[in-house]
Amino acid sequence: MGASLILSTEVCAACNAAFSPLDQDLVEHVEIFTRGRVTKLLGLGLQDDPTTGVRLSARLGLHGEERGLSVSPPQVFQLPDGSWQFRGGSTDVLATMIEEIGRPVAKVHETVDVSSDGLPVALAVVRTGPGAYVVRGAKAAEVRALAARLRAEGMRPTHLGAPAQWTPPERVQPISRGVEIPVGRISRAAAKVALNYVCSTLGAESALRTEFDPLRRFARDGEGAFLDFVSLALLDQYQREAVNVFAHPSRHALVLAEVHDGAQYQTGVQIVVFGQPFAVVRMGSAPYPMLPPRTWRVTYFDHEKKTFEHLRIPDDGPRCFVNIDSVVPGASALLSAAV
């Protein structure tokens, strides 16, 4: 997302692979709920098809002749009587699809759709690109079995009927697409960001402190409840008010702070992306501080220039907490201009 701060030590391959899906969840969450980019929501949805009695994959056309129209991607799907049917743009597409899935397919994703009122969701193999497919349906066992078959041996038709021109119904059915917010996985990604920030700015020894062990286990293995460690701004309206004075759309921010409650030092990291609050990560507590008393670490990222700057509070207080747009409504300035 335009940040360029990296770790001073390498990440092991196992952890890197384990965190990749979580990072993807985080990026998608930011794109949709922070930046308001809903194009992803216009991907493969479901549409009732009264002529077959099932719900089929469909999407909204966004370009050229398809713009604004319901588009059916090439797919083979199972009818209620157990037979299979193809729907796509032409017989050439059918021939290409038969050739591709007639042997083991490497690029196969799985989607299990939550059952809803109306027609049943068809078990289907949907072509999303050259040699790339999605197996989707309402029953997880069926989806897994069909996807495994495609990966292992592919599938071939036992009989090809005569192609026929599809006639769309008089009334166009709406396209529905379920949206899942995996708050637990997003929270784990946020926990990893907080740990990486400590590791990058204060060194691996600080990030490996024993009081961070529970957070590490949560981030790496999903151990524990996300509410014990992370407060997502999606679920906490007060976070937005807390960042108004310093957040700006031109920058991301990471803030590392400690609060002394009389017996323990509570460590936390606030994450801000594109000027919007994302999460607060409660890292842990210890009887001794990690930072000098009454100091914070703040890092700002200019996501367009791909630069970052480390600041401290109170030394760099005015530079950390001055946002011209919060002082003069309607003003427009980047961080450098505001300072």
- Tell me the DSSP string of 168-233: --SSPPPEE------HHHHHHHHHHHHHHHHHHHH-HHHHT-GGGHHHHHHHHH--S-GGGTEEEG
pLDDT grade for 214, boundaries at 50, 70 and 90: very high
Query: pLDDT grade, residue 332 (50/70/90)?
Result: very low
Name which residue leads in pLDDT, 213 or 38. 213
Q: Are 296 and 257 in contact (CB under 8 A)?
A: yes
- Reported as a single tens digit per residue, the pLDDT across 70-120 is 888 999 999 999 999 999 888 899 999 999 999 999 999 999 987 667 789
pLDDT surpassing 90 at residue 146: yes
Would the pLDDT of 132 be above 70?
yes
Q: Give the lowest-confidence range in 80-84, 95-99, 161-165, 278-282.
A: 161-165
How far apart, in whole angstroms, are the C-alpha atoms of residue 173 and residue 243?
43
The single residue listed with the structure tokens 């996807």 is 147
What percentage of the chain has pLDDT greater than the value 70?
92
Going by pLDDT thresholds of 50, 70 and 90, the confidence category of residue 40 is low
pLDDT digits (tens, 9 = 90+) for 70-81: 888 999 999 999
Q: How confident is the model at residue 324 (pLDDT cuts 50, 70, 90)?
A: very low
Per the prediction, the chain carries an average pLDDT of 85
pLDDT at site 76:
95
Task: State pLDDT tens for residues 235-264.
Answer: 877 787 777 667 778 889 999 999 888 889
Q: What is the mean pLDDT of residues 319-330?
A: 53
- Residue 331, pLDDT > 70, answer no
Other residues' Cβ atoms within 10 Å of the Cβ of residue 22: 22
Would the pLDDT of 210 be above 60? yes
Percent helix, strand and coil across the chain, each rounded to 5?
Answer: 35, 25, 40
More confident residue, 322 or 126: 126
**Top-confidence residue, 180 or 305:** 305
